[in-house]
């Protein structure tokens, strides 16, 4: 069994197919031989009855009700020439009640047909009986037929027929069945080999492409999909889809590593340059400027590391905390933080604010809202306006963050949620951005089953829209949160207040 398991799957399938076909041919052969035996025996038994009944009709016992040799007419036991052709090898004997043979057919071989006492007893009791007995090298089917023309049984007619022709026929059928089984086995092996080779060709292609990718690292390779829409075709399609996803993942990883290295190289160069300046013994003002520049770069690197860790956790599909989050409180917190950080540079408005709760991770949602507010403040010139709104419509909570900033050209809108992607790289680095804020927004929204989109007009401003699902308050495991104030007893702010 272990050796069979080690065989290639093509050989195993061919052998299983051949074994199944051999078993099927063998079962059919056994059934045919059994059916042949039954049908032939029925035909022989019917022929023996017919012959015995004809002999009985021609026997006359006379007035003594005894069966004597003279009661059996000459030639009665012989077959007519036409019957000899249709029923060859039929032997007839006539017994009296004492078991003595009083007449026999001329074609009977030397010696009597052996008849058992039980068979004769059945005939004396006026019952027919059959048995198969050996005569020389042959088997003979024997019928004991009671002779009772007018009353009680007066004798017994024993009719036998050789089964030699039947045995020869049976041996021929058995031989043909064996030959058919051998031929079927060979055909099954060759056919199974060819069919499995054709059916498993896409699987071999999958293995070949997988080995090639492992050796070269080229994920752009694909496998031609089979014409048949079957399991193998589905396997090839799934494998190609996996390769496509892996290609995108590794391309994004290479781009991510390149961008991360580039982003980290800049701050490190600035820090190194300022450290070199400090070694030169600069005046007090110069030393303070160098320390300030180095501190800013360290702070930027810290933010970048924190953002990278957050994205790495999201990529690893870490389980989000599932709790009821008052999204309106999160929005108010981000609005107040924006007012504190921004000072009086912009007008920060809190528009529509519906009380709505979602299921999710509070820290991640706070990061999402703040990233959008911070992004709007960073790219809106002084004196501009930033508006934050939260609406609860149906089973969705919709967050809008709108600014009157520089806007985003249409060709960049589709890529602004990619990591380290910047519309204006020079200005973004000058503003202290890491290039990961919007990527985090998209990652958090996706992790909460929501989506994010952006619309913009160059020179007029941009609107970011985040849509999150709102759970039913009757869903198991969800606790309704009444609209009864905000965090720490704070009151809901006036949406019309601006700074």
| Structure tokens given for 390 | 């939260």
d(CA 109, CA 91): 9
C-beta of residue 77 within 8 angstroms of C-beta of residue 155: no
Burial class (CB in 10 A: 0-12, 13-18, 19+), 438: buried
| Per-residue confidence band for 398, with pLDDT thresholds at 50, 70 and 90 | very high
Question: Residues of 51-71 as b/e, b for ≥16 C-beta within 10 angstroms?
Answer: bbeebbeebebeeeeebeeeb
CATH number of 231-310: 1.10.287.130
Listed by start position, the domains of the chain span 2-170, 231-310, 321-489
Please check the confidence at residue 110 and state whether its pLDDT lies above 60.
Answer: no
Judged against a pLDDT cut of 90, whether residue 97 lies above it is answered with: no
* Neighbour tally for 432: CB within 10 Å: 13
Q: In what order do the strands lie in the sheet with 461-469?
A: 347-353, 385-393, 396-403, 461-469, 451-457
Residues 368/440, Cβ–Cβ less than 8 Å? yes
Q: Which of 95-99, 118-122, 360-364 has the lowest mean pLDDT?
A: 95-99
Phi-psi region of 99 (alpha: psi -120 to 50; beta: other; left: phi over 0): left
Measured CA to CA in angstroms, residue 315 lies from 85, 130, 311, 361, 437 at distances of: 92, 87, 6, 16, 15
Residue 368 has a pLDDT of: 92
Predicted local distance difference test score (pLDDT) of residue 476? 41
Q: Locate 17 and state its tokens.
A: 């197919």
Superfamily, domain 2-170 = PAS domain (3.30.450.20)
**Are the beta carbons of 419 and 435 closer than 8 angstroms?**
yes
Rg for the chain, CA atoms, rounded: 51
Question: Percent of the chain scored above 90 by pLDDT?
Answer: 15
Looking at residue 109, its pLDDT comes to 59
Q: Is 182 helix (H, G, I), strand (E, B) or coil?
A: helix
Runs of H (alpha helix) within 317-436? 327-342, 362-378, 410-413, 425-430
Report, as an integer, the average pLDDT of 249-274: 76
Per-residue pLDDT reduced to its tens digit, 353-397: 999 999 998 988 998 999 999 999 988 998 899 999 999 998 999
Q: What is the rounded CA–CA span in Å between residue 216 and residue 136?
A: 81
The answer on pLDDT for 462 being more than 90 is yes
List, for residues 196-226, the tens digit of each pLDDT value.
777 777 777 778 888 888 787 777 787 777 6
Residue 162 in tokens: 């050789």
Higher-confidence residue of 488 and 13: namely 13
Euclidean distance between CA atoms 291 and 127, whole angstroms: 128
Q: Is 89 left (phi over 0), alpha (psi -120 to 50) or beta?
A: left
From the number of C-beta atoms within 10 Å of its C-beta (0-12, 13-18, 19+), residue 486 rates as middle
Q: Which fold has domain 321-489?
A: Heat Shock Protein 90 (3.30.565)
Q: Do the bridges between strand 347-353 and strand 129-135 make them parallel or antiparallel, or are there none, so unpaired?
A: unpaired
Confidence of residue 497 (pLDDT cuts 50, 70, 90): very low
Average of per-residue pLDDT across 307-336 = 79
Q: In this predicted structure, what is the pLDDT of residue 305?
A: 78
Give the separation between CA 212 and CA 180, rounded to whole angstroms: 45
Q: Which token pair is 119?
A: 């068979």
What is the C-alpha to C-alpha distance for residues 355 and 362, in angstroms, rounded to an integer? 16
Copy the structure tokens of residue 464: 């970011």
pLDDT of residue 289: 85
**pTM exceeding the 0.95 threshold for the entire prediction:** no
Q: Is the pLDDT of residue 21 over 50?
A: yes
* Tokens (6 digits) for 104: 């026999």
* DSSP code at position 94: E
Q: What share of the chain is helix, strand, coil (3-state, %, to 5)?
A: 55, 15, 30
- Is residue 59 a contact partner of residue 147, using CB atoms and an 8 Å limit? yes
The 8-class DSSP code of residue 320 comes to P
Averaged pLDDT score across all residues of the chain: 78
| Rounded Cα gap, residues 336 and 348, in angstroms | 9
Q: Give residue 319's pLDDT.
A: 55
Rounded Cα gap, residues 271 and 238, in angstroms: 49
Assess whether pLDDT exceeds 50 at residue 311: yes
């Amino acid at each position: 069994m272990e050796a069979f398991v080690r065989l290639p799957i093509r050989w195993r399938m061919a052998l299983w197919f051949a074994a199944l076909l051999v078993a099927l041919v063998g079962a059919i052969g056994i059934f045919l031989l059994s059916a042949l035996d039954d049908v032939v025996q029925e035909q022989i038994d019917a022929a023996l009855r017919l012959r015995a009944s004809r002999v009985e009709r021609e026997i006359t016992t006379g007035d003594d009700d005894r069966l004597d040799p003279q009661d059996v007419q000459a030639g009665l036991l012989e077959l007519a020439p036409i019957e000899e052709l249709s029923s060859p090898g039929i032997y007839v004997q006539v017994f009296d009640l004492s078991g003595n043979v009083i007449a026999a057919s001329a074609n009977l071989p030397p010696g009597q047909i052996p008849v058992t006492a039980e068979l004769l007893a059945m005939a004396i009791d006026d019952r027919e009986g059959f048995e198969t007995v050996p005569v020389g090298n042959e088997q003979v089917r024997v019928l004991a037929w009671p002779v009772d023309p007018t009353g009680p049984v007066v004798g017994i007619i024993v009719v036998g027929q050789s089964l030699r022709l039947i045995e020869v026929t049976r041996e021929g059928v058995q031989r043909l069945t064996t030959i058919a089984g051998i031929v079927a086995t060979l055909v099954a092996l060759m056919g199974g080999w060819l069919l499995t080779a054709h059916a498993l060709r896409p699987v071999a292609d999958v293995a070949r492409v997988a080995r090639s990718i492992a050796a070269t690292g080229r994920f752009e390779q694909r496998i031609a999909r089979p014409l048949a829409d079957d399991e193998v075709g589905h396997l090839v399609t799934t494998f190609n889809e996996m390769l496509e996803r892996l290609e995108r993942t590794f391309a994004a990883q290479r781009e991510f590593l390149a961008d991360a290295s580039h982003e980290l190289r800049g701050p490190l160069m600035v820090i190194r340059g300022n450290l070199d300046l400090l070694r030169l013994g600069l005046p007090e003002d110069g030393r303070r400027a160098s320390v300030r520049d180095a501190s800013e770069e360290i702070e930027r690197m810290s933010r970048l590391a924190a953002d990278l860790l957050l994205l790495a956790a999201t990529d690893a599909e870490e389980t989000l905390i599932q709790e009821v989050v008052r999204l309106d409180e999160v929005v108010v917190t981000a609005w107040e933080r924006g007012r504190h950080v921004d000072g009086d540079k912009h007008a920060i408005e809190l528009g529509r604010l519906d009380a709505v709760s979602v299921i999710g991770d509070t820290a991640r949602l706070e990061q999402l809202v703040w990233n959008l507010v911070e992004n709007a403040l960073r790219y809106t010139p002084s004196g501009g306006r930033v508006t934050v709104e939260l609406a609860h419509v149906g089973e969705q909570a919709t967050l809008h963050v709108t600014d009157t900033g520089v806007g985003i050209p249409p060709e960049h809108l589709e890529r602004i949620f990619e990591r380290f992607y910047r519309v204006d790289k020079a200005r973004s680095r000058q503003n202290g951005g890491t290039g990961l804020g919007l990527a985090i927004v998209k990652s958090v929204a996706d992790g909460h089953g929501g989506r994010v989109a952006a619309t913009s007009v160059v020179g007029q401003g941009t609107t970011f829209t985040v849509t999150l699902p709102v759970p039913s308050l009757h869903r198991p495991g969800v606790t309704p949160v009444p609209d009864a104030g905000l965090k720490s007893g704070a009151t809901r702010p006036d949406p019309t207040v601006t700074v």
